[in-house]
Each structure stands twice: as structure tokens, then as C-alpha cells.
Structure 1
């Protein structure tokens, strides 16, 4: 017979039609031995919100399991995050909670159950509790909630909201110390890699800028060197011309003196000639 343990029977009843819970509970109690029957008859009818969570946990166990595993990893990592990263993590966690609650509501609606806004809110609160508390995660994943959970629920509240035991899930929610240490080491290594990649990107950017500046300076140096060479050649030619001019100046001065004396003598001779004419 399918579902012969108390937990299996409870899971089947808690995901069945809510309006048929009482009759189904009575029928299942009649099918089991006298020791198990009283426990089944003592099962409380789940609230609609709890029923929605149970249906989702059982029919979308893979999707819920991945979300709860991610939530566990985030809980372990959040101690190492800064304020900005924690705020981003909070937004992502709320978005995922709403997405899962909406999917659970749609699954319940497909079964013909009317899901009100308040019911959907209680479903979202239960999933949120599972994201924050390993015990609540085990309770939600069991698919045997009798009532919705609250993120502020105590361990006693959570225990009271679940039909039967969930030892395998509770133990799995608390990894061994060496596993936690290994995960912490991996996170440290990932942060070191991220920091090194960031430093490499910054260094490569600076190298590109420095190379561009270096190339520009070398080109400018080449232009100035050529210009200096041209100016030096012009200066050498000017100095040669200066030497030649200075060598010619004494002879030019002598010629100037002789020409001036000749011009003075000629002027005197002309003056005498004019006076001699006037005396006739």
C-alpha cells in the first residue's frame, strides 16, 4: 500500500483536497493498524495557506529544493558581505520569495482552490521563513504543514506546525563543521580571485594610458630633435658667415678711408678751380 508510514500518510492528506480532509483522514485511519490510527485521527486540518505550501512542496520539490539550497548558501555567505551587497541580497531574496509564492498560488488555483490575497501573503511569509531559518526550511520542504509559518516563528512554533518528524531534512540543514570551513575557504578564494581580476583590469587600463602617453612623448621628442638639428645647422652657417664678414671688415674700412680722403681732395681741388675762375 502506498503511503504506509505516518509521515507519508500525513503528506498525502495535507496535499489532498481541503474540503475532503476530514473524510480522507477517517478513511486512512481505518486502513492502518490500531497503533497508527489514533495519530492519523489527531491530525489537524491544514489552513488553506499551509495546504498551498504543501502542494507546492510535493509537486515542485525540485524547484523548492533548489531555492532552499540557495537560501542556505546565502545565509552562510551573508556574514562576509558589505552593506551594499546585503541590500542587493535582500532584494533578490524578496523577489524569489514572491516568485515561488505566486507559483504555489497558481498551482493551487489549477486544482480549483480559490487563493485570496491574504492566503498568498501567508504562503509568501512561510517561504520567507524557510529562507531565513533552517528549521523552517525543513518544515516547508516536508509538505506536512498544518498552518502557515511566520519569519519570526520560534523553533517550538515551527515544530508544532509540522505533522510528523523531519530528521533527515533538519540534519541536512546543518552542514558539518569541516564542510562549512571548506565553503568559507572557497568563498575566500572566490573573493581573492575577484579582487585580483579587478586589480588586473585596473592595471591594464593604466598600462594602456601610460603607453599612449609614452608614445606621444616619443613622437614629440623626435619632432623637437629634428627641429633642433635644423636650428643648429642654421647657427653653424650663420657663424661661418660672421667669420667671413669680420675678415672682410678691415679691408672695407681701409677702402672707405681712402675713398673718403680722395673725395675730400677732389672737393678741395674743385673749390680751388672755381675760385680761380672767379678771379679772371
Structure 2
């Protein structure tokens, strides 16, 4: 197949790893069909074997693509650290290891403060996987290459004997396409084609009969992929539920705050009500007293008016005599 066709396939795979996680399987199968239609059966088979990334791996891929300079700096730091280790320069190793932690923590802190990657909330567990993967990228050049490519299917961990994925299995740090020599033959690493080669050998040795070991391997691989897909689904559900829980907790906190505020307002209004009621009672008492005084005064006034009229009558009578 011409080199430019392979480059087109690589580009399609790169785009595949930038798509939303829930669209990965459908998008991968579309790339497989395109590769098959173009005659690239080997490329189609390789793409078909690409598993759906875990939630952590998908987040790490987006971080790697969004922060290429920081990832490149970590990879370069790994080269320096290995060189210092070979030279047994302990002071240099300590300084570089401190710088590794500083740069790793800085990038993880950036993601934590953002709170999301590609619209997907980032949990503390995913941040832990990010830290482990960045550390693996420093400690292992193959891990660094895969992380920089942004094509992880599982997050990585560096352990005493090498690199494993987030499930503790040996990580497959291989490229999508084998390199080609000048005569056009493949120069792919043995580990990249190890499984297909073993399967082909088993078919030949069995003379067309099913190989139990190969069948068992295929079943095991399918079980691993199915279990990994189940883990992805559950991680996605867990993240969604955690987001719902955060939203509910925020609603509870807001409701309790509002309830406290309203309770304070009610206490204040109750105090104002009692004060107003007391003032009203006093006003009513004063009104009753004033009304009683008014009636008494009016009675006295009526008496006074009547006495005054009587006095005037007597005066007129006295003058007439």
C-alpha cells in the first residue's frame, strides 16, 4: 500500500482519538470500513483491534493533545534522567526527579482546576491515573512516545519491572503501522505482530483443525475487551452519578443556606410583629380611653350648654321686670 494511504489512515486514527468517548466504537468501525474499501486490509485489521479507551485514557489523550509542550518537556526530562542514572550522578538524579514531580504536579493541577476535559468532569481517580501515566512517560521512552501520540487505550503505570496499564496488565506500547524497509518489507517490532504470527503458526501446525490454545486466547482477549468495556461503562456511569451527587449536594447547601436566611428573616419579622402588636394594643387602649374621655367631655359640654341657655333665659327674664 502506498505510504500516503498509510498516512491517511494514521490521520483518521488521530481524529478517532479526539472524538467523544461514547462515539469511539462507531467512529472506529467507520475507519475500518474506509480502510477496507481502499484495499488496506492490514490497516483495517489493525484499526479493528483498537479497543475503546478507558475514561482515564481518554482524558489523558486529550490532555496530551492539549498540552504537547508540557508532555514533550516531560519526555525530554526522562532522557536526561536516564542519562544521569547511567552516569551515576546522584545529585543530578535527585534534581531531575524533583523537577519531574514539580512538572507532573503542575500539569495535573491545571487539569484539576479546570474541573473538566472535553466537557467530561474529571474525578479524583482519573487525576490519579493522569499522575501515574505522566510518571510512566518520564520513566520509559516507549510510554512517552505513546502518551505524546495521544492514542492510549488504558492509563499507564511505572512499576519495578516496567510499564503496566491501569488494570495491572503488561502495556502494549506499539504503533499502529509497522515501519517499512527500502525493499518494502515490514520491519515491525516482533511484539507488534506476535499475536497474529502465533495464530498463523497454530493454523499451519494444526492443518486446518481448530487450535484449542488459539481459541482459548481469542476467548480470553474477547473477555478482556468485554470486561474493559464494562469498566468503561461503569466508570462513565460513576462519573455521571458523582456529578449528580455534586449537583444535589450543592442544591442541599443552597437550600439550607436559604432556609437559615428565611428563618432569620422570620425571627426578625416575628419580633417586628410583636412590637407592632404591642403598639397596636397601646393605641387601641389609648383610643378607648380617649373615646371615654370624649364622651365624658361631651356630656359635660351638653350640661354646660344647657346651664348657659338657662342662665341666659333667667337674665332675659330679670331684665324684663
Length-normalised TM-score, structure 2? 0.45
Could you tell me how far apart the structure 1 residues matched to 2:27 and 2:121 are?
21
Within 5 Å, which residues of 2 pair with 1:94-243? 94-104=101-111, 109-152=116-159, 154=162, 160=172, 162=174, 164-165=176-177
Shift of 1:95: 1.8
Matched, 1:38 2:45: yes
Could you tell me how far apart the structure 2 residues matched to 1:126 and 1:164 are?
20
CA shift digits 1:22-47 (9 cap, x unpaired): 22222222333341333323210001
Question: Counterpart in 2 of 1:57?
Answer: 64
Q: Structure 1 or 2: larger helix share?
A: 1
Could you tell me how far apart the structure 2 residues matched to 1:106 and 1:162 are?
32
Checking the alignment, whether the CA contact within 8 Å between 1:10 and 1:163 is kept in structure 2 is no
Could you tell me how far apart the structure 1 residues matched to 2:85 and 2:110 are?
27
Length-normalised TM-score, structure 1? 0.50
Matched, 1:22 2:25: yes
Could you tell me how far apart the structure 2 residues matched to 1:134 and 1:39 are?
23
Q: SS at the partner of 1:32? A: helix
* Unaligned stretches of 5+ residues in structure 2: 180-321
Aligned residues: 168
Checking the alignment, whether the CA contact within 8 Å between 1:145 and 1:162 is kept in structure 2 is no
Structure of greater relative contact order (alpha carbons < 8 Å, 6+ residues apart): 1
* Unaligned stretches of 5+ residues in structure 1: 168-280
Larger radius of gyration: 1
Could you tell me how far apart the structure 2 residues matched to 1:45 and 1:163 are?
16
Question: Counterpart in 1 of 2:291?
Answer: none
Indicate how the Cα distance of structure 1 residues 39 and 89 shifts in structure 2: closer, same or farther if over 3 A, else same. closer
Shift of 1:19: 1.4
Q: SS at the partner of 1:44? A: coil
CA shift digits 1:143-168 (9 cap, x unpaired): 1111011112636866525562587x
Could you tell me how far apart the structure 1 residues matched to 2:79 and 2:18 are?
25
Could you tell me how far apart the structure 1 residues matched to 2:108 and 2:81 are?
19
